[in-house]
Structure 1
Amino acid sequence: MPDTISDIFIKGIVRTLKRGSRVRRRLPEGGLLHIDRPLPFLVLYRHPAGQPDHATADFVKAEAAYIIAREEQTPELRQLVQAIAKAMADEFGAFMVLELFAAPDISAADSPTFRVLGPEQALPATIRTLKTELASIKISGLPVTVATASNQALLEGSNSLMSEEELKQHSTLMLGLELKPIYRQANSGQVYPMLQRTLRGHVSSAIKKAVFDFVRVQTTHQPKHFQALGRQAVVPAVWRIDKQLTSISDQFRFLLLVTPVNADEAWEEFRQKKFKQAPNFHYRLMPMDADLLKRKLYNIPIEKVEDPTLAFLFRDKRHELDKTLTMLADRNTPDFLYSSLQLFGGVDEQLLKVAEGILAAIPEPMREQDVPLIPVDEFATLAEQEIAFLKGQYPALDSGVDIRKDIVGLIVSKGRLNIGTDAKIPRHRARALIQHEVGTHILTYFNGKAQPLQQLYVGVPGYEELQEGLAVLSEYLVGGLDQDRLRILAARVVAVHHLTKGCSFTDNFCRLKEEYNFDEETAFNVTMRVHRGGGLTKDAVYLRGLVHLLQYLKEGHELEPLLIGKIRQEYIPIVQELIYRQVLRPVPIRPRYLTDPAAQPKLQKLKAGISVFNLLEN
């Protein structure tokens, strides 16, 4: 049952905060009090009398300390806010209250998108920060304007929560933020959910930056970053939804399901027919019903997640899983390619130029055909040794190596390395491939597993590009990225490009063999990878990820934060925010090359800025 805002209730809230604990309590009439931890600010929303406005109330739920109540409860609410303000001002030296409300008239063309209400004289820098941040919001097709006005209306009358004298007494700043409710229809009140969600994220960021300015100057609380003012405590619904999404991901192994199980037989068939007829590929039986999984996927109530950052992460994952399940349902049909383009992208003009440039710079294989191979058993032993090195840093790492007949080459799945019994692994490439598979794919899987959010080991949408870019870069750092390897990465890009232009299996094979001088078996393997399932564009991400990663390092960014899990480059701000908020933990496992003195000169070269073509010189 909801609590009443009694003296006993208020004293209990204050006692809890003084102990340094979190407070989350229901208020009458559907209200809510949420204070993540003792903080020197509070964001407030009051539903207008008789007119509940849940769309506007949702804006405050993004904050670490908020109250949602009803205007009719103002007398009791006044005592609650004053008690919290006094207790937190005693602890931090000052306190800030920001009340958010919707403008009454949405139709007035000249009314501002936002109105900031603050003290009339000597406007503090906090107000300027809030105004500047709100003015910088860009929403497609909607002009954003910001005005300022006096906060006197907040301090007078029956609806005021604190008088000017009480504000001074408790060293409290009272601000108001009026939103023009452009996120709902003027007549019906129907909400535009996408616009509301986008605007909510922008407003939350602006509020945090304004609060950051206030607490840094006026209080003893010294957060490292404005994101550190976000929510740290995570409600149970978040962990439940994270687990549900992971459960769906765990019900299938996408790469294994789109990898032919008869590659050797298909190669023999293709060769016997003089490369004139595309081979027939066979695949593993589908272990699940894609439609039933989609039903489960969209029954997950992501809309219940108050935190906009985590809600975005979960929505993004749901969209990716939806597309992945569609691909599996369309396996071996023309529609498979269209879903692949949505999920993995295609080849843009710039990437194609890089790939063709590599193939022009290295027109012929650089090594003889009789390259010494390492026996599969010996390679597996080396891989097990590298896994033991990682386990020494993180004892919970539970990985291993499986040698399987139904695997072509090397595949990491669910944190384990799978090696095909007939895998042909050049001895001089063994160390590089171990860093690729174990030092990147297995490492990031278990770094992700060490985090509370399971999405970091399952893989956020689009993680493959950064993941493969890191894996190829690790080959360079240990001295195993040779020119033949770059030729193959470039060939994959070219093959994907021609696939998307309607090129057949046989034409793609012949192009690689005749125009780019690949031997028959290599040309077949590249073509098979690209045409499998009906057309898989994933193989373009290796070179694309490497190009983007080199640019990222050239811009002065560090490599280690990218190893926190299976993330994509655009997720770095999200990961950093969650680290500031202490939702995520430090990275427990580091790859060997980050501590290897021999790799340091190469790392420095990367930070100085080099292109893919510079990698050819090493």
Structure 2
Amino acid sequence: MIESITDSFITKITRSLTRGKQVHRRLPQGGLIYIDRPLPFLVLFRHPSGQPDHPTADFLKANASYIISHQERTEELRPLVQSIAKAMADKFGAFMIIELLAPPADAADVPLFKVLGPEKQLPTSTKTIVQELQSIKLSTIHTSVATDSNAPLLQEPLCLMPEEELKKHAILMLGLQLKPIYKNAATGKIYPLLLRNLREQVANAIKKTVFDFISVQTTHHPVHFQALGRQAVNRVVWRIDKQLTSISDQFQFLLLVTPVNNNNAWAEFKKAKYKQAPIFHYRLMPIDADQLKRKLYNISIEKVDDPTLGYLFRDKRHELDKMLTMLSDRNTPDFLYSSMQLYGTVDEQLLKIAEGILAAIPEPVREKDVELIPVAEFAAQAEREIAFLKDQYRALDSGVDVRDDIVGLIVSEGRLNVGTDAKIPRHRAEALIQHEVGTHILTYFNGKAQPLRQLYMGSPGYEELQEGLAVLSEWLVGGLDHDRLRILAARVVAVYHLTKGCSFTDNFSRLKEEYNFSDETAWDVTMRVHRGGGLTKDAVYLRGLVHLLSYLKEGHELEPLLIGKIRQDYIPIVQELIYRNVLRPVPIKPRYLLDDSIKPKLEQLKAGISVFNLL
């Protein structure tokens, strides 16, 4: 920290910016100047004299160019702001300063926001910020916006730059007065959730305002308002990203909730003539859930001042907390309640779709007399597909493991695990390889190619989009047959009845007697749904497919969804991070996006089709 803002300090700051470098320096009394890279705007806040207002100052930290100082330092601050503004105005052709202000202490009945702009004319930028602030939504709080003259900012004691200088250098000075509703007026206590929510929305309003100004007034033409966000990511972000990954890597959730005695349990169930619920055994727990939770909540996510990355980390912590709770409750009734929170339930619309599929295909088509592919042959075919992906991205380190403690197919930590007793229809082999390798392994390593580990570790709720993509890939390569759709629908029906209190034996009987599934298929669906104490995850396959088809019908592209293990509503977040150059382009594409013969099907998706069109 420096004791005063000297001429030499100002010269160094300005020289760094003109050379295209980042500026990140402490100012007197705990002030801060942060400019991510040369940009044609600056956001400013001055602590009121004698009473620092750190919560309001934190609003600035979501921006890529800001100064936090003190009112009593205005004389020193003035030449610094002027030097930066003039240098950047020369570089870009114009410059914008937005100063965040607290309302006067004696003011009564003030609006939530007051925008201070030029008196003689109301520039488009002023209109933009008013519109953006009016669109801010806060529960139970009315968003009121007023406008007034920026004259107080051009007069002593607040003046940083005379009006003549602003006009001479094409600099626009705006003020944004913010009512501190996030603070208890009597006690000064902060309401953290309201503060965080308001800060994120105000940051976006400022970026959109700046985007509008510089697109018209300057030579700088960003492709999107999010491209004005911070590109540099500080060390605390990478540390927290690593800490969350470290906790996630200590347990393989799906393996820990999948029975290891599936074959024996099935034999005992048959012996009991399907009247007695099976007893499942699980892998020994490799972790102490309570200790991991302590480590999880010792991670200082609140130190991340980037709202987008902070949201990602809080979201992931919430998911890991739920997973650890589920592992603690494994094989108990409480397991189901956390599963419903983590993976959701079945709503009426999804249930109708599932029942509609089962009504449209009342009988199995190929369940009997189907040719099975030997496990070794399937594993070799999967290895060839992995080699195809590796040709695109040499860092892809995957393979196939054939194991006797696995039921069917499971991808874990970027590797395909195949059960020694897996029964894989030959006509479905390519579809399953695109499902497991072309989706799950591909997105794992696309995520690993990103600097942010959350992209391969998996964002909360990523399973729905992942399985939707995986099932869609089966259709694209011609392997999504009627029996497969029946099974996906059966899983939804079984999950629905599970959440309504249905027992294992009743769910099994329903699948057999009402929906004509074979004993083995009914067992497999019921086991998957009831494992661990009740796992609602299996409803995400059909739900993810339905939501994905709707998303593509709206004109969205398929490829951006493959950047990692994300959920659908993360797309704007991912896009923002791409605009900010925090994330990189997708390095690996699945075979179906590179095959010209599949393009007509991709065009069909854009035109819009429903699940029933896939039959």
Whether these two folds match at TM > 0.5 is: yes
Does the 8 Å CA contact 1:477/1:593 hold for their aligned counterparts? yes
SS of the residue corresponding to residue 238 of structure 2 reads helix
Does the 8 Å CA contact 2:458/2:566 hold for their aligned counterparts? yes
Cross-structure match for 1:72? 72
Does the 8 Å CA contact 1:106/1:181 hold for their aligned counterparts? no
Once the two structures are superposed, the pairs formed by residues 303-314 of structure 1 within 5 Å of their partners are 303-314=302-313
Cross-structure match for 1:242? 241
SS of the residue corresponding to residue 97 of structure 2 reads strand
Identity %: 76
Cross-structure match for 1:125? 124
SS of the residue corresponding to residue 281 of structure 1 reads coil
Cross-structure match for 2:263? 264
Question: Aligned partner of 2:63: which letter?
Answer: E
Cross-structure match for 1:17? 17
Shift of 1:169: 2.5
SS of the residue corresponding to residue 24 of structure 1 reads strand
Shift of 1:105: 4.7
Cross-structure match for 1:615? 614
SS of the residue corresponding to residue 231 of structure 1 reads coil
With over 3 angstroms needed to count, the CA separation of the structure-2 counterparts of 1:298 and 1:368, relative to structure 1, is closer
What's the TM-score, normalizing by structure 1?
0.99
2:101 equivalent to 1:101:
yes
Separation (CA, whole Å) in 2 of partners of 1:2 and 1:338:
55
Does the 8 Å CA contact 2:386/2:437 hold for their aligned counterparts? yes
Shift of 1:159: 2.3
Does the 8 Å CA contact 2:498/2:507 hold for their aligned counterparts? yes
Cα offsets for 1:433-465 (capped at 9, x unmatched): 000000000000000001111000000000000
Cross-structure match for 1:592? 591
SS of the residue corresponding to residue 201 of structure 1 reads helix
**Which region of structure 1 is more displaced relative to structure 2, 498-507 or 161-170?**
161-170
**Which region of structure 1 is more displaced relative to structure 2, 417-426 or 595-604?**
595-604
Does the 8 Å CA contact 2:367/2:483 hold for their aligned counterparts? no
Does the 8 Å CA contact 1:362/1:487 hold for their aligned counterparts? yes
Cross-structure match for 1:399? 398
Cross-structure match for 2:495? 496
Cross-structure match for 2:87? 87
Cross-structure match for 1:524? 523
Cross-structure match for 1:145? 144
What's the TM-score, normalizing by structure 2?
0.99
Cα offsets for 1:568-604 (capped at 9, x unmatched): 0000000011111111100000000011122111111
Separation (CA, whole Å) in 2 of partners of 1:50 and 1:289:
49
Shift of 1:170: 2.2
Cross-structure match for 1:279? 278
Separation (CA, whole Å) in 1 of partners of 2:6 and 2:475:
66
Shift of 1:296: 0.6
Does the 8 Å CA contact 1:3/1:9 hold for their aligned counterparts? no
Question: Aligned partner of 2:346: which letter?
Answer: V
Separation (CA, whole Å) in 1 of partners of 2:420 and 2:87:
68
SS of the residue corresponding to residue 79 of structure 2 reads helix
With over 3 angstroms needed to count, the CA separation of the structure-2 counterparts of 1:8 and 1:418, relative to structure 1, is same
Shift of 1:71: 1.1
Cα offsets for 1:69-112 (capped at 9, x unmatched): 11111111111100100111111111111000122359834x21
Separation (CA, whole Å) in 1 of partners of 2:607 and 2:271:
51
Once the two structures are superposed, the pairs formed by residues 313-352 of structure 1 within 5 Å of their partners are 313-352=312-351
Does the 8 Å CA contact 2:95/2:171 hold for their aligned counterparts? yes
Shift of 1:7: 1.1
Shift of 1:3: 5.9
Separation (CA, whole Å) in 1 of partners of 2:516 and 2:102:
67
SS of the residue corresponding to residue 119 of structure 2 reads coil
Cross-structure match for 2:573? 574
Once the two structures are superposed, the pairs formed by residues 510-589 of structure 1 within 5 Å of their partners are 510-589=509-588
Question: Aligned partner of 1:551: which letter?
Answer: S
Cα offsets for 1:26-52 (capped at 9, x unmatched): 111111110000000000011000010
2:41 equivalent to 1:38:
no
Separation (CA, whole Å) in 1 of partners of 2:354 and 2:129:
47
Shift of 1:18: 1.1
Q: Which runs of 5 or more residues in structure 1 are unaligned?
A: none
Separation (CA, whole Å) in 2 of partners of 1:103 and 1:284:
60
Separation (CA, whole Å) in 2 of partners of 1:238 and 1:54:
21
Does the 8 Å CA contact 2:10/2:80 hold for their aligned counterparts? yes
Does the 8 Å CA contact 1:3/1:25 hold for their aligned counterparts? no
C-alpha RMSD of the superposition: 0.9
Aligned residues: 615
Cross-structure match for 1:56? 56
Separation (CA, whole Å) in 1 of partners of 2:383 and 2:3:
57
Does the 8 Å CA contact 1:95/1:173 hold for their aligned counterparts? yes
Question: Aligned partner of 1:365: which letter?
Answer: P
Question: Aligned partner of 2:483: which letter?
Answer: D
Shift of 1:368: 4.8
2:37 equivalent to 1:47:
no
SS of the residue corresponding to residue 582 of structure 1 reads coil
With over 3 angstroms needed to count, the CA separation of the structure-2 counterparts of 1:2 and 1:499, relative to structure 1, is farther
Cross-structure match for 1:422? 421
Cα offsets for 1:256-302 (capped at 9, x unmatched): 00000010000001000100101110000111111111111111111
Question: Aligned partner of 1:160: which letter?
Answer: C
Separation (CA, whole Å) in 2 of partners of 1:527 and 1:575:
36
- Divergent runs of 4+, >2 A: 1-4, 104-109
Separation (CA, whole Å) in 1 of partners of 2:570 and 2:517:
37
Does the 8 Å CA contact 2:115/2:176 hold for their aligned counterparts? yes
Cross-structure match for 1:226? 225
SS of the residue corresponding to residue 173 of structure 2 reads strand
Cα offsets for 1:355-395 (capped at 9, x unmatched): 00000000000115120000111001110100011011110
SS of the residue corresponding to residue 143 of structure 2 reads coil
Separation (CA, whole Å) in 1 of partners of 2:422 and 2:372:
9
Question: Aligned partner of 1:96: which letter?
Answer: M
